[in-house]
Structure 1
Amino acid sequence: MLLSTMREHDSAITASGETLLDLTALRADTPGSESVIHFNNAGCGLLARPVHQAMVEHLDLEARIGGYEAADVRAAEVSDFYAATAELIGSQPSEIAFAASATDAYTRALSSIPFQPGDVILTTRNDFISNQIAFLSLRKRFGIEIVHAPDHHDGSGVDVDAMAQLMRTRRPRLVAVTHIPTNSGLVQPIAEIGRHCRDLDLVYLVDACQSVGQYPIDVDEIGCDFLTATCRKFLRGPRGTGFLYVADRILRDGFEPLFIDMYGARWTGPDTYRPVDTAARFEDWEFPYAAVIGSAAATRYALRVGIGPISRRTPALAARLRDKLTQIPGVRVLDRGPNPAALVTFDVASWEPVPFKQALDSHRINSALSYQHFAQYDFADKDVAWALRLSPHYYNTEDEVDAVADAVAHLTASRRTNER
């Protein structure tokens, strides 16, 4: 089987100590790579064959014997979702809750915090749009205050010293940071922020939606109380899946979601209930079991490939792409920070966003658009109304990077010619 070949090759070490990736096997395991140049992994990664197979097999089993019965038969595979996710982020399985998405996980975490009027949420200027909207909703309903820590003057991310000072002076009820915002390749220093949160005993929520599956994640090193992620992006799992990490100390302190159901709590009397001891208190009774099993398979696949090699190859492909894009007249690369992630954003002079994306679509290049309302602070600072986002992953090739850059160059050149 291809996976066994891949595992054997992954164990090979070069003279420089770098683990090798067998791209032939990886791409053979990725049927979509035969049809498109998929540079939209920050939106949704291509499923690997073992992930697809695990889901289809479970759906077939449900069709043959029934949904409840199939879940009982596959209990070990379902349980492996928690074990695999815990291994991925350095936690315990009891600290993991399944969620329908990173946003679903995020709102469940937010709902567990007993906000009072005047409480402060301390966040950054480079945060995910849905998180910011949730904060605004909390402000509207509870009268909380939202404080945005300033960025460094060079735009390279949040000023941690200034953020720490705000922690000390404002004593926020919650500190919330997005590791990698969806609208750029910026990587925020979440572990450094976490150390300040621990020193001041502040609740810390990290959105790792774009970093899980792309970089090593260690929740102990980060020092977070909650961490949220999706499985569909760089982890290459199915849509409609994600997870919430809840630190054991938070569980012991009694944090629980606002709307807790029969799976997350026990009805102990007519007027009483007791939440379960684990992060399962953040889950609902109904599960898409095929997707849960598929997510477990995707995580195991990523672990077999190796998060270390992935974390080196994926940003390196993005760096190659940025270098080529910066040489194209009319293209402005927008990513900032010393070591950007594999989200490459740029705008193009004289093009409107939808026609430009459609032109790339015609070349069988998958991409995504970001608009000013996705990133009110960041795009205003950069004076940009829209950006195209390209996000390669480890199974993409250098030839694909070059082909994408050539396509962008061709489109921009043709537009300049037409304008003459």
Structure 2
Amino acid sequence: METLDVAALRADTPGCARVVHLNNAGSSLPPEPVLDAMTGHLRLEAEIGGYEAADARAEQIQGFYTEAAALLGARPAEIAFANNSTHAYATALSAIDFAPGDVVLTTRDDYISNQIAFLSLARRRGVRVVHAPDAPGGGVDVDAMAALMRAHRPRLVAVTHVPTSSGLIAPVAEIGRHCRELDLLYLVDACQSIGQLPLDVTAIGADLLTATGRKFLRGPRGTGLLYVSARVLEAGYEPLFIDMRGAQWTGTGDYRTVASAARFEDWEFPYAALLGLTAAIRYARRIGVPALSRRALGLAASLRDRLRGIDGVRVLDRGPELGAIVTCAVAGAEPEPLKAELAGHGINSSVTLREHARFDFADKGVEWCLRLSPHYFNTEEEIDRAADVLGAR
């Protein structure tokens, strides 16, 4: 099993010298290659002009599609750049011609913005939103979800791979097999799993997959991507508001959509950010996603073990498979003061409120949770430090 050179990885990460960063599920610490790619391009734009810089870096810009495709087991033509995961998700939803009575089948753990988007579709288009039930041990009951697929023949099946509000890892490949058997459109939100877990869109069976750059992938904010399978492209799906990047204006009354996933992109790009995201993907692939995933999940498991031994701290994560997001309830604490207390010890964390996870937190009987999300560049000593601070309250 490959061992990571954690000291070298930390040396690549300027923030490690200043903070214990346990908020990688929010926005991770970018490594030096990401900074270099972004600042280098911004400098070039300042020196020769924005359009001219994009022309000069055309080969490197195209490298984004090659790198992202390799990360996901896809083809470059199936990759679109997006400003963030939610933007990619909304663009994907806009390509589906929902009609009154159509069913969106999802889970009780899907991301808040996705849930709101489904409710908006229900309000404006008459779509029915059906939530598959959870299994007794946590996470979606796949057999029950498959039964709902057969009963409702949903227009879309949508699943969040790793919820933002807990350490759960959803069985997206198992769900995908049922979607393929029934020929159902399948959308996977990989916002928290990209850069944390190995991803293969073929193994998952996804038709559409959305992701962000800023979290476990360690790219810049304001970046994300959308995977669009060849079968979806060939079926003619296109976003509702397509622009000149995604289509050619062939006559005063007509246009022709481009063949690739570029039909889901806008013409204007933040090229420095795109190159930063490319560098982040290349960095993760060079380290090896399986190796970095093992370390991140191992650190999270160690943190859960430490927290379970602290009076007044209740670990909230449930499910057959847990990832690198650790959530807990802390008796007698208030969310923002607790976050500030940890920050006073140099520890970055985040809090999640009940309004962000209404099903999950209602089941767990909590109004909020503390979220600690280690990554592969964190150390065992940093894990112990966070547990010690919570244990000393």
Check whether TM > 0.5: yes
Question: One-letter code of the match for 2:239?
Answer: P
- 2:227 is the alignment partner of 1:232: no
The alpha carbon displacement at 1:338 in A equals: 2.4
Taking the TM superposition and a 5 Å limit, the aligned residue runs for 1:292-307 are 292-307=274-289
Distance 1:199 1:23 in 2: 43
The reply to whether residue 79 of structure 1 matches residue 71 of structure 2 is no
Q: How far does residue 154 in structure 1 lie from its aligned partner after superposition? A: 2.3
Alpha-carbon distance in structure 2 between the residues aligned to 1:35 and 1:410: 22
Q: Which runs of 4+ in 1 moved over 6 A?
A: none
- Please name the residue that 1:352 is paired with: 334
2:387 pairs with 1:402 = no
Query: Is structure 2 residue 76 aligned with structure 1 residue 93?
Result: yes
Partner of 1:374: 356
Find the aligned partners of 2:127 and 2:37 in 1 and give their Cα distance: 44
Q: Cα RMSD between the aligned structures?
A: 0.5
For structure 1, the 5+ residue unaligned runs are 1-17, 412-420
Aligned with 2:133 (options 150, 159, 162): 150
Q: Distance in 1 between matches of 2:292 and 2:321?
A: 15
Q: Secondary structure of 1:162's match?
A: helix
Which whole-Å deviations, capped at 9, do the CAs of 1:222-271 have from their partners, x for residues lacking one?
A: 00100000010000000000000000100000000000001100011111
**Residue 124 (structure 1) aligns with:** 107
Write the mapping of 1:54-69 to structure 2, written as runs, cut at 5 A. Answer: 54-69=37-52
Q: Distance in 2 between matches of 1:154 and 1:397?
A: 30
Aligned pair partner of 1:36 in 16, 19, 22:
19
Distance (whole Å) between structure 2 residues aligned to residue 189 and residue 61 of structure 1: 44
1:175-225 C-alpha deviation (Å, 9 max, x unpaired)? 000000000000000000000000000000000011100111000000010
**Preserved contact between residue 98 and residue 155 of structure 2 (Cα < 8 Å):** yes
1:286 alignment counterpart: 268
Tell me the residue number matched to 1:46. Answer: 29
Cα shift readout 1:284-310 (whole Å, capped 9, x = no counterpart): 000000000000000000000110101
Match of 1:364 among 315, 338, 346: 346
* Contact kept? 2:335, 2:370, Cα under 8 Å: yes
Q: 1:140 aligns with which of 98, 123, 145?
A: 123
The residue aligned with 1:248 is 230
Report if the CA contact (8 A) 2:137-2:320 is conserved.
no
Say if 2:236 is the partner of 1:217: no
CA distance in 2, matches of 1:194, 1:399: 39
The AA in structure 1 aligned to 2:7 is T
- Residue 316 of structure 1, aligned match among 288, 298, 304: 298
1:336 aligns with 2:318: yes
- Counterpart amino acid of residue 66 in structure 1: G
1:371-417 Cα shifts (integer Å, max 9, x gaps): 00000100000001000100000000000000110011112xxxxxx
SS at match of 1:234: coil
Q: How many angstroms apart in 1 are the aligned matches of 2:365 and 2:330?
A: 13
Q: Is the 8 A contact 2:85 2:191 kept in 1?
A: yes
Which whole-Å CA distance do the structure 2 matches of 1:222 and 1:358 have between them? 39
Name the CA distance, whole Å, in 2 between partners of 1:68 and 1:166. Answer: 50
| Amino acid aligned to 1:54 | A
SS in 1 for 2:301: helix
Letter in 1 for 2:204: I
Residue 176 of structure 2 aligns with an amino acid whose one-letter code is G
Q: 3-state DSSP class of the match of 2:392?
A: helix
Q: CA deviation at 1:101?
A: 0.4
